[in-house]
A = this chain, B = another copy of it.
Amino acid sequence: MTRVAFIGLGNMGGPMALNLLRAGHQVHAFDLSEQALARLTAEGAKAAATAAAAVEGAEVIFSMLPAGRHVEQLYLDDSEGDCLLDLIDASTPVVDCSTIAAETARKVASAAAARGRRMLDAPVSGGVGGAEAGTLTFMIGGDAELVEQVRPLFEIMGRNVFHAGPAGAGQVAKMCNNMLLAIQMAGTAEALQLGVANGLDPAVLSNIMQQSSGGNWTLNVYNPWPGVMEGVPASRGYQGGFQVDLMLKDLALALEGAAASSQTTPMGSLARSLYALHKKTGAEGAADAGSLDFSSIQQLYSR
Protein backbone atom coordinates (compact mmCIF):
# COMPACT_ATOMS: atom_id res chain seq x y z
CA MET A 1 0.00 0.00 0.00
CA THR A 2 1.33 3.38 -1.06
CA ARG A 3 0.29 6.70 0.39
CA VAL A 4 -0.69 8.82 -2.60
CA ALA A 5 -1.57 12.50 -2.80
CA PHE A 6 -4.01 13.28 -5.63
CA ILE A 7 -4.70 16.90 -6.53
CA GLY A 8 -7.43 17.64 -9.05
CA LEU A 9 -10.48 15.37 -9.02
CA GLY A 10 -12.32 16.42 -12.16
CA ASN A 11 -13.72 14.21 -14.95
CA MET A 12 -10.30 12.61 -15.42
CA GLY A 13 -8.63 12.94 -11.99
CA GLY A 14 -11.66 11.67 -10.07
CA PRO A 15 -11.83 8.21 -11.66
CA MET A 16 -8.03 7.93 -11.78
CA ALA A 17 -7.81 8.49 -8.02
CA LEU A 18 -10.69 6.10 -7.50
CA ASN A 19 -8.84 3.34 -9.34
CA LEU A 20 -5.82 3.83 -7.07
CA LEU A 21 -8.10 3.67 -4.06
CA ARG A 22 -9.81 0.50 -5.23
CA ALA A 23 -6.42 -1.11 -5.84
CA GLY A 24 -5.80 -0.74 -2.13
CA HIS A 25 -3.75 2.44 -1.97
CA GLN A 26 -4.29 5.24 0.51
CA VAL A 27 -5.34 8.46 -1.25
CA HIS A 28 -5.09 11.92 0.27
CA ALA A 29 -7.16 14.01 -2.06
CA PHE A 30 -7.60 17.71 -2.71
CA ASP A 31 -9.86 19.66 -5.03
CA LEU A 32 -11.33 23.15 -4.91
CA SER A 33 -14.75 21.60 -5.51
CA GLU A 34 -16.19 20.17 -2.30
CA GLN A 35 -18.53 18.07 -4.36
CA ALA A 36 -15.68 16.41 -6.25
CA LEU A 37 -13.88 15.82 -2.97
CA ALA A 38 -16.99 14.37 -1.34
CA ARG A 39 -17.43 11.83 -4.16
CA LEU A 40 -13.98 10.47 -3.46
CA THR A 41 -14.11 10.49 0.33
CA ALA A 42 -17.33 8.53 0.05
CA GLU A 43 -15.18 5.81 -1.52
CA GLY A 44 -12.56 5.91 1.24
CA ALA A 45 -10.17 8.73 0.31
CA LYS A 46 -9.00 11.18 2.97
CA ALA A 47 -9.94 14.78 2.21
CA ALA A 48 -7.20 17.36 2.56
CA ALA A 49 -8.10 20.99 3.22
CA THR A 50 -5.26 22.27 1.03
CA ALA A 51 -2.82 20.94 -1.53
CA ALA A 52 -0.09 21.41 1.07
CA ALA A 53 -2.00 19.21 3.51
CA ALA A 54 -2.52 16.56 0.82
CA VAL A 55 1.16 16.17 0.00
CA GLU A 56 2.27 15.93 3.62
CA GLY A 57 3.70 12.47 4.16
CA ALA A 58 2.84 11.36 0.63
CA GLU A 59 5.00 8.70 -1.06
CA VAL A 60 3.85 9.73 -4.53
CA ILE A 61 2.07 12.87 -5.68
CA PHE A 62 -0.27 13.04 -8.69
CA SER A 63 -1.90 16.13 -10.12
CA MET A 64 -4.49 16.41 -12.88
CA LEU A 65 -5.45 19.99 -13.70
CA PRO A 66 -7.17 21.80 -16.60
CA ALA A 67 -4.38 24.02 -17.93
CA GLY A 68 -0.79 25.17 -17.61
CA ARG A 69 -1.60 28.17 -15.45
CA HIS A 70 -3.16 25.89 -12.81
CA VAL A 71 -0.09 23.66 -12.81
CA GLU A 72 2.23 26.64 -12.44
CA GLN A 73 0.10 28.01 -9.65
CA LEU A 74 -0.09 24.69 -7.81
CA TYR A 75 3.63 23.97 -7.81
CA LEU A 76 5.34 27.35 -8.13
CA ASP A 77 3.18 29.95 -6.41
CA ASP A 78 5.12 31.35 -3.46
CA SER A 79 3.06 34.46 -2.86
CA GLU A 80 2.16 33.18 0.60
CA GLY A 81 5.52 31.69 1.57
CA ASP A 82 7.00 28.40 0.40
CA CYS A 83 5.77 26.96 -2.88
CA LEU A 84 4.41 23.43 -2.90
CA LEU A 85 7.65 22.00 -4.31
CA ASP A 86 9.42 23.27 -1.17
CA LEU A 87 7.08 21.26 1.04
CA ILE A 88 7.61 17.92 -0.70
CA ASP A 89 10.08 15.33 0.45
CA ALA A 90 13.04 14.99 -1.91
CA SER A 91 12.46 11.27 -2.35
CA THR A 92 8.80 11.67 -3.32
CA PRO A 93 8.02 11.37 -7.04
CA VAL A 94 5.82 14.20 -8.34
CA VAL A 95 3.70 13.26 -11.34
CA ASP A 96 1.71 15.86 -13.22
CA CYS A 97 -0.84 14.23 -15.55
CA SER A 98 -2.31 17.48 -16.90
CA THR A 99 -2.13 18.18 -20.63
CA ILE A 100 -0.18 21.43 -20.88
CA ALA A 101 2.46 23.10 -23.03
CA ALA A 102 5.79 21.26 -23.03
CA GLU A 103 7.41 24.60 -22.25
CA THR A 104 5.39 24.93 -19.04
CA ALA A 105 6.08 21.32 -18.09
CA ARG A 106 9.80 21.92 -18.54
CA LYS A 107 9.63 25.11 -16.50
CA VAL A 108 7.96 23.36 -13.56
CA ALA A 109 10.25 20.32 -13.82
CA SER A 110 13.22 22.62 -13.85
CA ALA A 111 12.01 24.42 -10.73
CA ALA A 112 11.55 21.00 -9.12
CA ALA A 113 15.06 19.89 -10.08
CA ALA A 114 16.50 23.13 -8.69
CA ARG A 115 15.03 22.09 -5.34
CA GLY A 116 16.22 18.48 -5.64
CA ARG A 117 12.68 17.24 -6.30
CA ARG A 118 11.97 14.57 -8.92
CA MET A 119 9.17 15.23 -11.35
CA LEU A 120 7.46 13.54 -14.30
CA ASP A 121 5.09 15.01 -16.88
CA ALA A 122 2.65 12.23 -17.69
CA PRO A 123 -0.29 13.36 -19.81
CA VAL A 124 -2.79 10.69 -20.73
CA SER A 125 -4.96 9.74 -23.65
CA GLY A 126 -8.06 7.60 -23.52
CA GLY A 127 -10.62 10.09 -22.25
CA VAL A 128 -13.07 9.78 -19.39
CA GLY A 129 -13.93 6.25 -20.48
CA GLY A 130 -10.29 5.21 -20.24
CA ALA A 131 -9.91 6.93 -16.89
CA GLU A 132 -12.89 5.04 -15.50
CA ALA A 133 -11.88 1.70 -17.00
CA GLY A 134 -8.25 2.06 -16.00
CA THR A 135 -7.15 1.76 -19.61
CA LEU A 136 -5.44 5.10 -20.14
CA THR A 137 -2.25 5.59 -22.12
CA PHE A 138 0.48 7.49 -20.26
CA MET A 139 3.10 9.41 -22.28
CA ILE A 140 5.83 10.33 -19.85
CA GLY A 141 8.69 12.78 -19.74
CA GLY A 142 11.40 12.65 -17.10
CA ASP A 143 13.93 10.26 -15.61
CA ALA A 144 13.61 6.64 -16.78
CA GLU A 145 14.25 5.17 -13.34
CA LEU A 146 11.58 7.36 -11.84
CA VAL A 147 9.12 6.10 -14.45
CA GLU A 148 9.93 2.51 -13.42
CA GLN A 149 9.45 3.40 -9.76
CA VAL A 150 5.97 4.79 -10.38
CA ARG A 151 5.05 2.18 -13.03
CA PRO A 152 2.95 -0.03 -10.71
CA LEU A 153 0.64 2.92 -10.03
CA PHE A 154 0.50 3.93 -13.71
CA GLU A 155 -0.52 0.37 -14.54
CA ILE A 156 -3.45 0.55 -12.18
CA MET A 157 -4.78 3.59 -14.01
CA GLY A 158 -3.70 2.72 -17.53
CA ARG A 159 -2.88 0.01 -20.00
CA ASN A 160 0.02 1.58 -21.87
CA VAL A 161 2.92 3.33 -20.20
CA PHE A 162 5.40 5.01 -22.56
CA HIS A 163 8.59 6.75 -21.58
CA ALA A 164 8.97 9.45 -24.23
CA GLY A 165 12.19 11.13 -23.07
CA PRO A 166 13.39 13.83 -20.66
CA ALA A 167 11.25 16.44 -18.90
CA GLY A 168 8.52 17.79 -21.18
CA ALA A 169 8.76 14.83 -23.58
CA GLY A 170 5.45 13.41 -22.37
CA GLN A 171 3.72 16.62 -23.40
CA VAL A 172 5.52 16.66 -26.75
CA ALA A 173 4.50 13.06 -27.49
CA LYS A 174 0.90 13.79 -26.62
CA MET A 175 0.65 16.92 -28.75
CA CYS A 176 2.18 15.07 -31.74
CA ASN A 177 -0.10 12.08 -31.29
CA ASN A 178 -3.26 14.12 -30.91
CA MET A 179 -2.44 16.36 -33.86
CA LEU A 180 -1.99 13.24 -35.98
CA LEU A 181 -5.23 11.86 -34.59
CA ALA A 182 -7.11 15.02 -35.59
CA ILE A 183 -5.62 14.86 -39.09
CA GLN A 184 -6.57 11.21 -39.45
CA MET A 185 -10.08 11.63 -38.11
CA ALA A 186 -10.76 14.50 -40.52
CA GLY A 187 -9.09 12.57 -43.36
CA THR A 188 -11.10 9.45 -42.62
CA ALA A 189 -14.37 11.38 -42.51
CA GLU A 190 -13.43 13.06 -45.80
CA ALA A 191 -12.61 9.75 -47.49
CA LEU A 192 -15.79 8.09 -46.23
CA GLN A 193 -17.99 10.92 -47.48
CA LEU A 194 -16.24 10.88 -50.86
CA GLY A 195 -16.83 7.15 -51.17
CA VAL A 196 -20.45 7.24 -50.06
CA ALA A 197 -21.23 10.14 -52.40
CA ASN A 198 -19.86 7.92 -55.16
CA GLY A 199 -22.06 4.99 -54.29
CA LEU A 200 -20.07 2.96 -51.78
CA ASP A 201 -21.42 1.43 -48.60
CA PRO A 202 -19.64 3.13 -45.65
CA ALA A 203 -19.09 -0.18 -43.86
CA VAL A 204 -17.62 -1.83 -46.96
CA LEU A 205 -15.33 1.10 -47.66
CA SER A 206 -14.29 1.28 -43.99
CA ASN A 207 -13.39 -2.40 -44.07
CA ILE A 208 -11.36 -2.06 -47.27
CA MET A 209 -9.38 0.97 -46.07
CA GLN A 210 -8.85 -0.52 -42.62
CA GLN A 211 -7.10 -3.52 -44.17
CA SER A 212 -5.25 -1.48 -46.77
CA SER A 213 -2.73 1.35 -46.72
CA GLY A 214 -5.43 3.74 -45.49
CA GLY A 215 -5.71 1.82 -42.21
CA ASN A 216 -5.65 3.78 -38.95
CA TRP A 217 -6.82 3.73 -35.32
CA THR A 218 -10.00 5.57 -36.26
CA LEU A 219 -11.05 2.83 -38.68
CA ASN A 220 -10.02 0.14 -36.19
CA VAL A 221 -11.98 1.26 -33.15
CA TYR A 222 -13.60 4.69 -33.61
CA ASN A 223 -15.35 4.86 -36.97
CA PRO A 224 -16.94 8.32 -37.48
CA TRP A 225 -19.77 7.19 -39.76
CA PRO A 226 -23.00 6.54 -37.84
CA GLY A 227 -23.92 2.88 -37.69
CA VAL A 228 -20.75 1.37 -39.09
CA MET A 229 -19.41 0.36 -35.67
CA GLU A 230 -21.31 -0.45 -32.51
CA GLY A 231 -20.62 1.26 -29.22
CA VAL A 232 -18.77 4.27 -30.61
CA PRO A 233 -19.92 7.89 -30.30
CA ALA A 234 -20.86 8.02 -34.01
CA SER A 235 -23.52 5.41 -33.31
CA ARG A 236 -25.09 7.32 -30.44
CA GLY A 237 -25.41 10.82 -31.84
CA TYR A 238 -21.77 11.69 -31.12
CA GLN A 239 -22.50 11.84 -27.40
CA GLY A 240 -19.77 11.01 -24.88
CA GLY A 241 -16.22 10.33 -26.03
CA PHE A 242 -13.64 13.05 -26.61
CA GLN A 243 -15.20 16.46 -27.13
CA VAL A 244 -14.52 18.74 -30.09
CA ASP A 245 -13.62 21.50 -27.61
CA LEU A 246 -10.92 19.31 -26.05
CA MET A 247 -9.51 18.43 -29.46
CA LEU A 248 -9.40 22.16 -30.25
CA LYS A 249 -7.48 22.69 -27.01
CA ASP A 250 -4.98 19.94 -27.90
CA LEU A 251 -4.57 21.32 -31.41
CA ALA A 252 -3.91 24.78 -29.97
CA LEU A 253 -1.13 23.27 -27.83
CA ALA A 254 0.35 21.52 -30.87
CA LEU A 255 0.25 24.62 -33.07
CA GLU A 256 1.75 26.80 -30.34
CA GLY A 257 4.43 24.16 -29.84
CA ALA A 258 5.09 24.20 -33.57
CA ALA A 259 5.33 28.00 -33.70
CA ALA A 260 7.60 28.05 -30.65
CA SER A 261 9.98 25.60 -32.34
CA SER A 262 9.73 27.24 -35.81
CA GLN A 263 8.08 24.19 -37.34
CA THR A 264 5.38 24.22 -39.96
CA THR A 265 2.21 22.18 -39.53
CA PRO A 266 -0.03 22.75 -42.56
CA MET A 267 -2.10 19.58 -42.06
CA GLY A 268 -2.52 20.19 -38.34
CA SER A 269 -3.43 23.83 -38.95
CA LEU A 270 -6.05 22.88 -41.51
CA ALA A 271 -7.44 20.22 -39.17
CA ARG A 272 -7.80 22.91 -36.51
CA SER A 273 -9.58 25.21 -38.98
CA LEU A 274 -11.96 22.42 -39.95
CA TYR A 275 -12.74 21.59 -36.32
CA ALA A 276 -13.34 25.28 -35.61
CA LEU A 277 -15.64 25.56 -38.65
CA HIS A 278 -17.44 22.43 -37.50
CA LYS A 279 -17.91 23.90 -34.03
CA LYS A 280 -19.48 27.00 -35.58
CA THR A 281 -21.52 25.54 -38.40
CA GLY A 282 -22.58 22.44 -36.49
CA ALA A 283 -24.83 24.46 -34.23
CA GLU A 284 -28.22 22.92 -33.62
CA GLY A 285 -30.62 24.90 -31.51
CA ALA A 286 -28.72 27.00 -29.02
CA ALA A 287 -25.60 24.88 -28.61
CA ASP A 288 -22.58 24.70 -30.89
CA ALA A 289 -20.91 21.40 -31.82
CA GLY A 290 -18.09 21.85 -29.30
CA SER A 291 -19.56 19.39 -26.83
CA LEU A 292 -19.99 16.59 -29.38
CA ASP A 293 -17.44 13.81 -29.75
CA PHE A 294 -14.62 14.76 -32.12
CA SER A 295 -15.65 12.09 -34.65
CA SER A 296 -18.64 14.37 -35.37
CA ILE A 297 -16.35 16.16 -37.84
CA GLN A 298 -18.09 13.69 -40.17
CA GLN A 299 -21.06 16.09 -40.07
CA LEU A 300 -19.01 18.91 -41.60
CA TYR A 301 -18.52 16.75 -44.70
CA SER A 302 -21.80 14.90 -44.81
CA ARG A 303 -24.41 17.50 -44.01
Q: Contact between B255 and A200 (Cβ–Cβ < 8 Å)?
A: no
Q: A160 within 8 Å of B by Cβ?
A: yes
Q: Contact between A214 and B277 (Cβ–Cβ < 8 Å)?
A: no
Given contacts A180-B187, A181-B213, contact A197 B261 (CB under 8 A): yes
Q: Please, which residues of chain B bring their CB within 8 A of the CB of A177?
A: 191, 208-209, 212-214
- Is the contact region of chain A dominated by helix, strand, or loop, or is it mixed? helix
Q: Contact between B204 and A165 (Cβ–Cβ < 8 Å)?
A: yes
Given contacts A184-B214, A201-B165, A269-B269, contact A194 B263 (CB under 8 A): yes
Q: A227 within 8 Å of B by Cβ?
A: no
Q: Please, which residues of chain B bring their CB within 8 A of the CB of A164?
A: 200, 204-205, 208
Q: A10 within 8 Å of B by Cβ?
A: no
Q: Please, which residues of chain B bring their CB within 8 A of the CB of A195?
A: 172-173, 176
Q: A296 within 8 Å of B by Cβ?
A: no
Question: Who on chain B is nearest to A276 by CB?
Answer: B264
Q: Contact check: which of B213, B222, B273 meets A217 at CB < 8 Å? A: B213
Q: Please, which residues of chain B bring their CB within 8 A of the CB of A181?
A: 213-214
Q: Please, which residues of chain B bring their CB within 8 A of the CB of A218?
A: 213
Given contacts A173-B195, A208-B177, contact A264 B252 (CB under 8 A): no
Nearest 7 Cβ contacts at the A-B interface: A264-B276, A183-B187, A266-B273, A216-B216, A180-B214, A269-B269, A281-B281
| Chain A interface residues (CB < 8 Å from chain B) | 102, 125, 137, 139, 160, 162-166, 168-169, 172-173, 175-181, 183-184, 186-188, 190-195, 197-201, 204-205, 207-209, 211-218, 220, 222, 252, 254-259, 261-274, 276-277, 279-281, 283, 300-301, 303
